[in-house]
Amino acid sequence: MTNYYPRETTEFVPVTVTVDGVSVTSGVQFSITNGQTRPTVWMESVTLDDQIGFMLTAPLTVGAYRVWAKVTDSPEIPVIECGSYRVT
């Protein structure tokens, strides 16, 4: 995912998360980082029209960001880098 969003936008960003080829729609948290920063803070996923994702909420800071997903399963807790987006 590489999308561009104006810094004034408030928008739902859908993210497809798969583990071992199977789509996961519950027990997912997201983290948004900039640059080469690793995820440390996680937020619960948002569900809209049967899709999971996260909300971008204006005002946004211009720059490049990476999207991470964490699937809270037991005993494994996979962390997946999902892609990136830019705020213009």
- The predicted pLDDT at position 2 comes to 67
**Domains within the chain, CATH numbers bracketed:** 2-87 (2.60.40.10)
What are the residues whose beta carbons fall under 8 Å from the beta carbon of 86, sequence distance 6 or more? Answer: 2, 3, 4, 5, 63, 64, 65
Give pLDDT, residue 42.
97
Q: In angstroms, what CA-CA distances link 44 with 7, 32, 54, 85?
A: 22, 12, 8, 19
pLDDT in tens, 27-68: 999 999 997 899 999 999 999 999 999 999 999 999 999 999
- Best mean pLDDT range from 16-25, 43-52, 68-77: 43-52
> What's the CA gap between 71 and 25, in Å, rounded?
9
